[in-house]
Amino acid sequence: MEQLKGLDSIVMTVIGKFAARARVGKEKYGTTLDRTDLGMLDWVEHTQEELMDAILYLEKLKQTLGGNKHSK
Instruction: Give the integer Cα–Cα distance in Å for 2 and 6.
Output: 9
> Rounded to an integer, what is the distance from CA 31 to the centroid of its chain?
17
pLDDT of residue 68: 65
**Whole-number Cα distances in Å, 65 to 40, 49, 60, 61:** 37, 25, 9, 6
The count of C-alpha atoms lying within 13 angstroms of the C-alpha of 15, restricted to the half-sphere facing its C-beta, is: 10
Reported residue count of the chain is 72
pLDDT of residue 10: 96
pLDDT of residue 67: 77
Per-residue pLDDT of the chain (72 residues; tens, 9 = 90+): 788 889 999 999 999 999 999 999 999 999 999 999 999 999 999 999 999 999 999 999 999 999 766 655
The structure's pTM equals 0.71
